[in-house]
Amino acid sequence: MARVAARLSDGEQSTHPVDEVLPLPKLALYGFQHVLAFYAGAVIVPIIVGGALGLSTEQLVYLINADLFTCGIASIIQAFGIGRIGARLPLIQGVTFTAVSPMIAIGLGAGGGTAALLVIYGAVITAGIATFAFAWLPPKAFRAVMRLFPPVVTGTVITVLGIVLIPVGLNDAAGGLGSPDFGDPKNFAYAGGTMLFILILMKIGKPFLSSIAILLGLVGGTAVAFLLGDAKFGDVSKADWVGVTTPFHFGVPKFEWFPIVLMLIVMLITMVETTGDTYAVGDIVGKEVDSETVARALRADGAATALGGVLNSFPYVAFAENVGLVRMTKVKSRFVVVAAGVFMIVLGMLPKAAAIVASVPHGVLGGAATVMFAMVALAGIQTLAKVDLKEEKNALVIGVSLAFALLPATVPVFFKEHMNADLSSLLNSGVTLGATAAIVLNLIFNGLGKDDAHNATEAPAVIPGQPAETTKAAKDADADEAAPASEATEGEAAAPAPTA
């Protein structure tokens, strides 16, 4: 891989810090630190989705391994780059939280279990291929789509995402829906203790502790539960020491058009996240991000998502918390992320490690998940703070969209008993209804003004202690240059893309 070099005044060349290959010990240390900051966010998605679909412990272990294995490959593609795929920046790829609620809705609509996974994977593969193809479109086409996502829309969607997921965390805090001890005060004690421990770590304020607060909370809560006899690790001894993720492990994917439409909406939102994180990390490491860089980042997202569907995992996006870690550590080399990818691939081949994670008690998991999902909602509120809420049109977009988002949880009988099963699998999701309402209402009230393409910002966040990075999009940039264009070159001037 050729290093990008900057020419000095005396004619010599120096390697940009992003392209610097650090000594192996430093690569290993800094790479493992990225894994620690990323790990809890990586494994909690398959845990939540697998639990909601009623998968067995063995199947859940496989999902966790598949997720970590594919995360490693996706991060290497994004950071190292393959041809015109990958931003070649220190960006960690992980499963997007945006897809959690829609995937659960799709899976439950398909009856749960492994049969549900096949429908989800069909939608994931299709959406990944569509995202990959979209990133090769001309600038004007990209701009037209991204104008659907100004701050009032993305802020609402991210807020909705957090609000919809918080009950999922609370159900786990109660012991997990369907469990014999659901609602037992003991479960809430574990959840409350885990949450308190995480908040104390956050209060201490040490950057590294903050970056792994969720992970330490899960470890601490599980350790207490084990000492009190409420954490069972019997399945760990049954798990193999080494296991390799194989394509289509659960069967041949099923391609149904309603789930595919839903997953396409998810990928539109994740494209916004990745665009924002690409500009944020570019600003942190001092490297110009042009339209082709954004295009390469989105192609990596699409390729990783399609690969995720093949390797029994889920949609992928650049992780905001690791962007924050780059800022804190000031380690700019993208090869550190490559090293982190190697660690993740190795972890993804250790079923016993995944079995330990799968043994985390529901109460402990619920306490950590509730904190994480609350922080997602906060990220949305932070984005909405940039919107002129005195403008009645914006207030209506936000308020009515939130009302739509609460409909599935408030009146579930409407979707279960009075709606076609296929239509229910698409609409029985607060995220889907809230996002669709925000887009449609914004079009009705605000239209597609040119300012939307220039002023949109994005603020994803998932892990407490790693504040969401806001897109550093220059407001005066030319909109055509802001979109990914296949004809762009490495040397073109940076032109921030319209993001949301």
- Tell me the per-residue pLDDT of 25-44, one tens digit each, with 9 for 90 and over: 888 888 887 786 677 667 77
Whether 277 has a pLDDT exceeding 70, the answer reads: yes
Contact 351, 339 (CB under 8 A): no
Residue type, 103: M
Distance from C-alpha of 284 to C-alpha of 298, rounded to nearest angstrom: 19
470 or 187: which leads in pLDDT: 187
Tell me how far the alpha carbon of residue 245 is from its chain's centroid: 21
Distance (Å) of CA 83 to CA 86, 260, 293, 300, 365: 8, 28, 12, 11, 40
Under the banding of pLDDT at 50, 70 and 90, the label for residue 385 is confident
| Of 392, 411, 412, residue with least CA distance to 400 | 392
- Tell me the per-residue pLDDT of 144-179, one tens digit each, with 9 for 90 and over: 766 777 888 877 877 887 787 788 778 878 887 667
**Element holding 15 (H helix, E strand):** strand 13-15
Under the banding of pLDDT at 50, 70 and 90, the label for residue 310 is very high
- Tell me the per-residue pLDDT of 97-112, one tens digit each, with 9 for 90 and over: 778 877 887 887 777 8
Q: Helix, strand, or coil here: 14?
A: strand
Number of H helices, E strands in the chain: 22, 4
pTM: 0.67
Contact 398, 101 (CB under 8 A): no
Q: How many CA atoms lie within 13 A of 362 on its CB side?
A: 26
